[in-house]
Amino acid sequence: MNFPRERTALAEVMAFLFSKGWAPGTGGNFSIVVGEGADRRWVMSPSGIEKGSVAPSDLIVLDRELNVIEGTGKPSAEALLHVYIAESFGARSILHVHSVWNTLLSRRFLKDGHLYLEGYEMLKVIGSIKTHETRIAVPIVPNSQDMPSLVETLKAKLGDEPPVPAFLLAGHGLYTWGDSLAEAKRHVEGLEFLFEVEAREQSWGTHAGG
Ligand SMILES: [Zn+2]
């Protein structure tokens, strides 16, 4: 079995995200990129399994073209989004979760094209942000089951340098990524914290922005 360290680390993060309620009902998908160029491999969650109790040996290894080279599962159709994110932004780990809060906000603010988050200390979870006196815009695009066309939509929306290492699919979930699994996990935790605070504040009608 190749990549035992990456498998163990990814399975642990998946169990953690599941325990938080962010990947219910076999939802979400998760990957680590190993190697470069033609030697690139993916350690990835297989499609259709519950994410809370995955053994390292249950994870699949894919080659650069997404052929399964180790394991018995199949990649999610959304694996194409992982390829897009890694190739466009140099991500080394990509985490995708379906939470209540990201689903609510992604539907509510789809018409604006972004979810704006401003003035929160937790914004510093994004490595490039050093102060809470900041506003970030998390891009939101409509959901689709047609992955090649979704990739084209994302390319048009995010360009070469997305404002944050994350986007929302409306009514579906969050994609975020990082230079490492640890960084990508930090982004999920920070963003999901921000989503919950923002959604609760808005539902109280006491939003700082009126
Ligand atoms: Zn999904």
CA of 206 to the centre of ligand 1 (A): 31
- Predicted pLDDT at 206: 62
* Residue 154 zone, left/alpha/beta (φ > 0; ψ -120 to 50; rest): alpha
* Other CB atoms within 10 Å distance of the CB of residue 153: 14
The answer to whether residue 209 is domain-embedded is no
CA of 131 to the centre of ligand 1 (A): 31
CA of 77 to the centre of ligand 1 (A): 9
CATH of the domain at 106: 3.40.225.10
CA of 123 to the centre of ligand 1 (A): 24
CA of 48 to the centre of ligand 1 (A): 11
The first and second tokens of residue 210, run together, are: 């009126």
The answer to whether residue 57 is domain-embedded is yes
- Predicted pLDDT at 8: 97
Average pLDDT of the chain, as a whole number: 94
Question: Domain limits at 198?
Answer: 4-204
The answer to whether residue 112 is domain-embedded is yes
Backbone angles phi, psi at 124, to 5 degrees: -70, 0
- Predicted pLDDT at 210: 46
User: What's the pTM value of the predicted model, to 2 decimals?
Assistant: 0.95
Taking only the tens place, the pLDDT of each residue in 13-64 is: 999 999 999 999 989 999 999 999 889 999 999 998 899 999 999 999 999 9
- Predicted pLDDT at 94: 98
The count of structural domains within the chain is 1
Closest-CA residue to 58 (of 13, 2, 11): 11
The answer to whether residue 210 is domain-embedded is no
The answer to whether residue 53 is domain-embedded is yes
User: CB within 8 A of 170, min separation 6: which ones?
Assistant: 106, 107, 110, 140, 141, 142, 143
Average pLDDT over residues 181-209: 90
The first and second tokens of residue 14, run together, are: 């998946």
The answer to whether residue 164 is domain-embedded is yes
CA of 200 to the centre of ligand 1 (A): 23
Q: Is the pLDDT reported for residue 208 higher than 70?
A: no
Backbone angles phi, psi at 41, to 5 degrees: -130, 155
Query: Residue 9 to residues 43, 84, 135, 171: CA-CA distances in angstroms?
Result: 10, 23, 32, 29
The answer to whether residue 59 is domain-embedded is yes
The answer to whether residue 157 is domain-embedded is yes
Taking only the tens place, the pLDDT of each residue in 118-170 is: 999 999 989 888 889 899 999 999 999 999 999 999 999 999 999 899 999 99
CA of 210 to the centre of ligand 1 (A): 32
CA of 106 to the centre of ligand 1 (A): 13
